[in-house]
Amino acid sequence: MGEFIRFLENRGFSSVEKLKGDASEREFYRLRKGSENFVLMKFSGQGLELQLRVHRFLSAILPLPRIYDVFLSWRAILMEDAGDLSLEEFVKKGGKWKPIYHQLLSLVKVLQTYGSGLLPSGHPVKTRALDRERFSKELNFTYQHFIKENSSVPETLWKEAFSELVSEIDYSRMVPNHRDLHSRNVFLKDGKILILDYQDCMMGPGPYDYASLLRDNYIYFSATERKDFERELISENYILVSLQRHLKALGTFAYQIKRGKKYFSRYIPITLKYLREEIQGRALGLGSLIEREILHRVYDD
């Protein structure tokens, strides 16, 4: 990285500051040139080309940070600095969040309505899907990293319950989804929204991005707070997709905690609150397992 920094300094950039990244293997740096700040996204392996292809597609619909330059030999992208105010921080500081969520939900609707028509054949957004196979893999990951350490029930019973859940989800309407649209990936800068971490955009069930926003793993919105937003969205499929996503998040959080990112532990209770709500009244074997093996042992204690 040192050689690359010298390369950037020779191009007039200064004040290189490493930023806290996400759960990926990418590294982020804030650079300064004159009076402007930029962010450098550095890839340790594959992913740069995918990032660029998804950005070209989504930037026609969603407000993404602009890309100014690409350094292929260094595996890096120079992009607009989204600032430091995430939607998560804005909400927790008491900001007026409802107008922002109305805007975000409108953007999701546009993406789902018109996005498919903008995708050429063979585009990675079109060839990847949140389908039974992917949902099952995500739940098995959660079993290995979270459930296995908290439950004495045999793995076979959990896998049967997972299979029931992913079979109950309706995949008949598959539309483009950001796939990770939540308050930590939305930033507010100069009165505008900027959406980050979009590289995993893929086809998926219609409720996915809506549930990701309104039943955010990082912010707990009560049923009353969600009522007006969910009025036209709520359905059995919405609940099932949200249930799967929250289970997936438990595995992600547990894995990141094992890697030393202890701060992810603060989000587990929020996720469990949503899970408790989502299993109520569901005729799923998974519900009793979650109640007995996860909520009782982890949340109640």
Q: Which pLDDT tens digit goes with each residue over 120-171?
A: 999 999 999 999 999 999 999 999 999 999 998 999 999 999 999 999 999 9
**Does position 62 have pLDDT exceeding 80, yes or no?**
yes
Q: What is the 3-state secondary structure (H, E, C) of the chain?
A: CHHHHHHHHHCCCEEEEEECCCCCCCEEEEEEECCEEEEEEECCCCCHHHHHHHHHHHCCCCCCCCEEEEEHHHCEEEEECCCCCEHHHHHHCCCCCHHHHHHHHHHHHHHHHHCHHHCCCCCHHHHCECCHHHHHHHHHHHHHHCHHHCCCCCHHHHHHHHHHHHHHCCCCCEEEECCCCCHHHEEEECCEEEECCCCCCEEEECCHHHHHHHCCCCCCCCHHHHHHHHCCCCCHHHHHHHHHHHHHHHHHHHHHHHCCCHHHHHHHHHHHHHHHHHHCCCCCHHHHHHHHHHHHHHHCC
Instruction: Band the pLDDT of 17: cuts 50, 70, 90.
Output: confident
CA dist 237 and 225 (Å) reads: 20
**Does position 299 have pLDDT exceeding 70, yes or no?**
no
Does 28 or 132 have the greater pLDDT score? Answer: 132
Instruction: Band the pLDDT of 5: cuts 50, 70, 90.
Output: confident
**Does position 23 have pLDDT exceeding 60, yes or no?**
no
Instruction: State pLDDT tens for residues 84-121.
Output: 999 999 999 999 999 999 999 999 999 999 999 999 99
Instruction: Band the pLDDT of 34: cuts 50, 70, 90.
Output: confident
Whole-number average pLDDT of the chain: 93
Beta-bridge partner residues of 37: 32
Cβ atoms 286, 162 nearer than 8 A:
yes
Q: Which residue has the tokens 């219609």?
A: 206
Check residue 301 and give its pLDDT.
46
Instruction: Please state, for a pLDDT cut of 90, what percent of the chain lies above it.
Output: 79
Please state, in angstroms and as integers, the Cα–Cα distance from residue 122 to each residue in 2, 53, 174, following that order. Answer: 37, 11, 16
Instruction: Please state, for a pLDDT cut of 70, what percent of the chain lies above it.
Output: 97
Residues in the chain: 301
Cβ atoms 130, 208 nearer than 8 A:
yes
Average pLDDT over residues 40-69: 94
**Does position 218 have pLDDT exceeding 70, yes or no?**
yes
Check residue 296 and give its pLDDT.
80
Please state, in angstroms and as integers, the Cα–Cα distance from residue 275 to each residue in 22, 50, 245, 257, 279, following that order. Answer: 24, 33, 10, 20, 6
Prediction pTM value: 0.93
Instruction: Band the pLDDT of 22: cuts 50, 70, 90.
Output: low
**Does position 285 have pLDDT exceeding 90, yes or no?**
no
Check residue 233 and give its pLDDT.
95
Cβ atoms 193, 100 nearer than 8 A:
yes
Instruction: Band the pLDDT of 24: cuts 50, 70, 90.
Output: low
**Does position 16 have pLDDT exceeding 90, yes or no?**
no
Angle between helices 236-258 and 132-145 (to 10 degrees): 40
Give me the domains of the chain, ranges plus CATH numbers: 2-80 (3.30.200.20), 87-299 (3.90.1200.10)
Q: What is the 3-state secondary structure (H, E, C) of 209-249?
A: HHHHHHCCCCCCCCHHHHHHHHCCCCCHHHHHHHHHHHHHH
CA-closest candidate to residue 144, choices 162, 129, 166: 162
**Does position 300 have pLDDT exceeding 60, yes or no?**
no
**Range from 132-146, 156-170, 176-190, 282-296 carrying the lowest mean pLDDT:** 282-296
Residues 6+ apart with CB under 8 A from 266: none
Burial class (CB in 10 A: 0-12, 13-18, 19+), 211: buried
Instruction: State pLDDT tens for residues 244-275.
Output: 999 999 999 999 999 999 999 999 999 999 99
